[in-house]
């Protein structure tokens, strides 16, 4: 019978053999519970060792991961074995710590980062007392996720005010009020705040001269009109990134003011009902707007809602919005993107388009559009007279729609610049030159047609193929996806038919039958060990063709 220690040794050996290829992490000389490594400026990990004490560690260690152990009570003698170390980063995540003596960390005069996350038995006042006695002028980050605190740790803000704290993270806590007035007074140097996955519902605004990133996602915030600025003060003059996903904000008109530098805005998952005229115009630097999952009540986009010269990426996914103008929904197809001419990336997946014709009006002002994502939009065909009017459009994703056929000449015109076309999961049953005019297909470098009900045949023509693509080809075919790579150098066109299933001669069209009868035919092997030779033969054949 294999006993416990043998098993552990096996596992450790495997890890260290594997690990030695990546980085040299070995058992520490004095203890088998931890690994020591000279990389990263001296790193020791005793993660998950279930220790009740901190063992002796080599003096070069500056980073100690002591997460998932059992240090219930901590005082200065808990760290007596670390006296010789110049510890910079101490991680005590998940230790079931109940109490810490106030002076416990005062001998660490190089400490920069302290992680006390997931020790829910610690109260905010104990942590504040400990921080008040930290004796390192470099201290700049404390991590306190999942402490389950139900009062705002204001005494901690006071204790932290002695330090130059640049980042403050408190996720998964249970307090309702956030006093940003108080926080800003105590942490004036702060650059990033992340107070997320909580139940915040009220906030007192504060003035943050340096704040660049504000994350308040997954709370219960409504945000009042003066949240970002009042008539006299702009609260976040340097804010670049704002994430207020998954709160209960339903009205964003006139909300964003004074955010002159804001470039990224995420407001997904809020029960927003409509976007009114000039909502974005107050954000002169906005580049990326993500507003997904707004819920089924969202029903109105006013003509100048998206008016913005700076906007580059618009992600408007999964909003169940019906792009039509009737009693329940409003938008104007010729106006919606007329005033946002610099959009390069547009994601409208997960909305409904009953009439394909609206797309031509909607999207033709977007002359800089490069990527268009319209998965899952109930499309039945591809839009005509659109793609070739968008000279920069190179990727089109229209997977999981109900597309069966289209007029290739009207869709792609004579010259289309599209390189990637994804039509996975539609109802395309036949591929022919009407759908893909040959010069369109020649330009495409990736065409995904997986998960379509081809029951007769798939034709790939205009193949100019080199050995380089063999892996892509191989993988793609096995996934019932067809990927075609275009290589500039070779000129010749080979005609190749791949039949995804066995097809009887009777069910072939006469031209297909004639072609099949005049060409070599390889059947895909039924035995796995024959697959290798099959692909080799195919590649050889392709090589002879080019
Ligand atoms: C520190 O804690 C240990 C046990 O956790 C205890 O034995 C020791 O007396 C304490 N030392 C001081 C100075 O309180
Ligand atoms: C704080 O650190 C300094 C040296 O960095 C040391 O002289 C002093 O005794 C320390 N204070 C405490 C309370 O440990
Ligand atoms: C330290 O704190 C962060 C939270 O800020 C947490 O995500 C991380 O997993 C913690 N522990 C370790 C061992 O990194
Ligand atoms: C605070 O730290 C940041 C870097 O994290 C630094 O850029 C800034 O100058 C520091 N401020 C003060 C007042 O020391
Ligand atoms: C927020 O903090 C300020 C002091 O900075 C204080 O005057 C105010 O009463 C606090 N508000 C709440 C609701 O605690
Ligand atoms: C929004 O702007 C359009 C175009 O300027 C205008 O026709 C429409 O009436 C405006 N909507 C509202 C509610 O003012
Ligand atoms: C779309 O939104 C619904 C709720 O409105 C959600 O359940 C679903 O997971 C979302 N789908 C995707 C792909 O995000
Ligand atoms: C959309 O806007 C255009 C230009 O402002 C206008 O002529 C047209 O009537 C509008 N369409 C609808 C359905 O309101
Ligand atoms: C495509 O080009 C041919 C000649 O090169 C021209 O006759 C035809 O009208 C063009 N079609 C389109 C849709 O531009
Ligand atoms: C097969 O195709 C599906 C859908 O296109 C994709 O999600 C999946 O990752 C692919 N699998 C492999 C092995 O490439």
Give pLDDT tens digits for 34-87: 999 888 889 999 999 999 999 999 999 999 999 999 999 998 889 999 888 999
Q: Identify the residues whose C-beta falls under 6 Å from ligand 10.
A: 424, 450, 475, 479, 481
All residues at 6 or more sequence positions from 4 whose CB lies less than 8 Å from its CB, including other chains: none
Question: What is the per-residue pLDDT across 403-438, written as a single tens digit (0 to 9) for each?
Answer: 999 999 999 987 778 888 888 889 887 767 788 777
- Kindly state the helix (H) or strand (E) to which residue 14 belongs, with its residue range: helix 4-22
More reliable by pLDDT, 157 or 440: 157
Nearest atom (ligand 6) to Cα of 277? 1
Confidence at 458, pLDDT banded by 50, 70, 90:
very low
Q: How far apart are CA 309 and CA 544, in angstroms?
A: 53
Distance 367 CA to ligand 10 centre (A): 31
Residue of the CA atom closest to atom 13 of ligand 7 = 318
Nearest atom (ligand 8) to Cα of 335? 2
Q: Is 302 in the pocket of ligand 8 (CB under 6 A)?
A: no
Range of weakest confidence among 6-15, 185-194, 485-494: 6-15
For residue 79, give the 3-state DSSP assignment: helix
* Average pLDDT of the segment spanning 177-193: 95
Q: Is 329 in the pocket of ligand 8 (CB under 6 A)?
A: no
Strands 458-463 and 494-498 turn out to be antiparallel
Distance 344 CA to ligand 1 centre (A): 62
Looking at the predicted structure, is the pLDDT value of residue 510 above 90?
no
The pair of structure tokens assigned to 23 is 């980085």
Residue of the CA atom closest to atom 13 of ligand 8 = 332
Q: Identify the residues whose C-beta falls under 6 Å from ligand 7.
A: 293, 295, 318, 350
Q: Is 107 in the pocket of ligand 2 (CB under 6 A)?
A: yes
pTM metric for this prediction? 0.79
Confidence at 442, pLDDT banded by 50, 70, 90:
low
Q: CB burial class (10 A; 0-12, 13-18, 19+) of residue 97?
A: buried
Beta carbons within 10 angstroms of residue 92's beta carbon:
25
Q: How many CA atoms lie within 13 A of 59 on its CB side?
A: 2
Nearest atom (ligand 7) to Cα of 318? 1
Residue 242 sits at φ, ψ, to 5 deg, of: -130, 125
- If one residue of 80, 107, 135 were mutated to test the ligand 2 pocket, choosing by the most ligand atoms within 8 A of its CB, it would be 135
Q: How many CA atoms lie within 13 A of 102 on its CB side?
A: 7
Residue of the CA atom closest to atom 10 of ligand 5 = 179
More reliable by pLDDT, 190 or 478: 190
Nearest atom (ligand 3) to Cα of 93? 11
Strand-pair partners of 242: 214, 265
Greatest CA span in the chain, whole angstroms? 89
Looking at the predicted structure, is the pLDDT value of residue 2 above 80?
no
Looking at the predicted structure, is the pLDDT value of residue 14 above 50?
no
Q: How far apart are CA 44 and CA 60, in angstroms?
A: 10
Task: With beta carbons less than 8 A apart as the criterion, state whether 180 and 153 touch.
Answer: no
Looking at the predicted structure, is the pLDDT value of residue 542 above 60?
no
Beta carbons within 10 angstroms of residue 403's beta carbon:
21
Q: From the CA of 94, which ligand is nearest?
A: 3
Residue of the CA atom closest to atom 5 of ligand 7 = 295
- Alpha helices (H) in 179-246, listed in sequence order: 180-186
Nearest atom (ligand 2) to Cα of 109? 5
Distance 414 CA to ligand 9 centre (A): 6
């Amino acid at each position: 019978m294999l006993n416990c220690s043998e098993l552990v040794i096996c596992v450790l050996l495997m890890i260290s053999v594997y690990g030695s290829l990546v980085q040299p992490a070995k058992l520490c000389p004095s203890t088998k519970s931890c690994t020591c490594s000279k990389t990263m400026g001296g790193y020791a990990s005793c993660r998950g060792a279930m220790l009740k004490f901190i063992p002796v560690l080599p003096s070069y260690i500056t980073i100690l991961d002591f997460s998932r152990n059992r240090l219930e009570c901590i005082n200065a003698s808990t760290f007596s074995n670390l006296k010789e170390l110049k510890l910079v980063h101490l991680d005590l995540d998940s230790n079931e710590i109940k109490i810490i003596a106030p002076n416990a960390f005062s001998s660490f005069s190089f400490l920069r980062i302290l992680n006390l996350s997931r020790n829910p038995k610690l109260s905010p006042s104990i942590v504040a007392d400990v921080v008040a006695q930290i004796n390192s002028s470099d201290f700049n980050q404390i991590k306190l996720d999942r402490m389950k605190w139900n009062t705002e740790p204001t005494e901690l803000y006071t204790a932290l005010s002695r330090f130059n704290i640049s980042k403050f993270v408190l996720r998964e806590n249970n307090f309702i009020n956030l006093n940003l007035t108080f926080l800003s007074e105590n942490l004036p140097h702060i650059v990033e705040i992340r107070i997320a996955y909580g139940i915040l519902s009220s906030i007192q605004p504060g003035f943050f001269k340096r704040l660049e990133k504000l994350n308040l996602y997954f709370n219960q915030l409504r945000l009042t009109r003066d949240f970002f600025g009042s008539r006299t003060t702009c609260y976040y003059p340097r804010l670049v990134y704002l994430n207020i996903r998954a709160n209960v904000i339903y009205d964003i008109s006139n909300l964003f003011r004074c955010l002159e530098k804001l470039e990224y805005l995420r407001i997904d998952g809020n029960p927003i009902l409509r976007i009114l005229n000039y909502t974005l115009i107050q954000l002169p630097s906005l580049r990326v707007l993500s507003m997904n999952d707004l819920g089924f009540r969202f029903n109105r986009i006013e003509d100048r809602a998206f008016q913005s010269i700076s906007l580059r990426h618009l992600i408007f996914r999964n909003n169940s919005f019906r792009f039509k103008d009737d009693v329940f929904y409003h938008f104007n197809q010729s106006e919606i993107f007329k005033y946002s001419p610099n959009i390069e990336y547009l994601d409208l997946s997960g909305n409904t388009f009953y009439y394909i014709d609206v797309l031509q009006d909607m999207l033709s002002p977007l002359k800089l559009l490069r990527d268009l994502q319209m998965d899952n939009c109930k499309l039945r065909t591809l839009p005509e007279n659109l793609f070739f009017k968008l000279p920069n459009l190179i990727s089109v994703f229209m997977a999981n729609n109900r597309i069966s056929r289209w007029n290739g000449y009207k869709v792609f015109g004579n010259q289309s610049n599209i390189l990637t076309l994804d039509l996975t999961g539609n109802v395309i049953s036949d591929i022919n030159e009407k759908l893909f005019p040959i010069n369109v297909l020649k330009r495409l470098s990736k065409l995904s047609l997986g998960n379509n009900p081809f029951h007769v045949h798939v034709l790939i023509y205009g193949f100019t193929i080199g050995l380089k693509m063999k892996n892509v080809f191989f993988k793609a075919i096995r996934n019932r996806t067809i990927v075609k790579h275009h290589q500039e150098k070779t000129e010749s066109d080979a005609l190749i038919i791949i039949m995804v299933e066995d097809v009887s001669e009777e069910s072939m069209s006469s031209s297909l039958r004639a072609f099949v009868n005049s060409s070599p035919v390889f059947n895909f092997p039924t035995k796995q060990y024959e697959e290798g030779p099959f692909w080799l033969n195919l590649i050889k054949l392709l090589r002879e063709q080019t």
